[in-house]
Amino acid sequence: MNGRAQSTMMVIGERLFLVVAEPARFAEETLGSMTVSFALDDAIARMSARLSLPAGPLRTMLEGLGERLEPIGVTVDMLEQLVAHREAGQPLRLYYLSNMPASYARAIERRHAFMQRFDGGVFSGDVKFLKPEREIYEVLAMRYALDPQQTVFIDDSAANVEAARAFGWQAIHCTTPAMLPSQLQRYLPVSTTLSVSNPRLLA
């Protein structure tokens, strides 16, 4: 698609954030539970039953988890490079598609200015659909009039990537953020180049 006049639509679905100040395995369990539920109460009940833990301490931790999500440096660096190319006149549009409870989404929007760099996006908690459900891809596509042939979706989940391809988008399965610029290069306008200058965190 290099050299085409149309805009390239980048949809970043891969994880932008890590939980800090929590053991890694427990953080993974927590995020996994939260993405299967839209309501905090439901997520707490699920975790309490699965982990045999009382609901009270779980609520205390989960209610503030959005305040402890920190961005993955490599992915944000890449976003800023794409934004710079867009602002220099390259035909790029940048969107996010995230499985994130609404309360966490509001915390992220408030705490992290780079979220305003996107041209738009969808959080699952706001629309009551989850990746890889087809409906959440439809919501994003209809809201921003995305052209499937010009849309490139990036995610670290194989199931989400396959769902995007089934929806007609091009898609990249990225499990190592530092490799994303090289994976993405072939989809970009011909004069757009990317580099990773500061791989601070691993996914």
pLDDT in tens, 54-98: 888 877 777 777 788 888 887 888 888 889 989 998 888 999 998
Cβ contacts of 39 within 8 Å, gap of 6 or more? none
- In CATH terms, the fold of domain 8-16+72-187 is Rossmann fold (3.40.50)
pLDDT digits (tens, 9 = 90+) for 102-160: 888 898 899 989 899 999 999 988 998 889 999 999 999 999 999 998 999 998 889 99
pLDDT higher at 6 or 18: 6
Rounded to the nearest integer, the mean pLDDT of the chain is 77
Q: Which residue has the higher pLDDT, 173 or 12?
A: 173
CATH 3.40.50.1000 domain extents, the chain: 8-16+72-187
pLDDT at 17 over 60: no
Q: What percent of the chain has pLDDT over 90?
A: 26
pLDDT of residue 6: 61
Distance CA 149, CA 168 (A): 7
Q: What pTM value is reported for the model? A: 0.77
* Residue-wise pLDDT tens digits, 189-198: 655 555 543 3
* Residues sharing a CB contact under 8 Å with residue 129, sequence separation 6 or more, in sequence order: 135, 136, 139
Alpha-carbon gap, residue 24 to 60, rounded angstroms = 18
Q: Which residues contact 30 (CB under 8 A, 6 or more apart)?
A: 19, 22, 47, 61, 62, 65
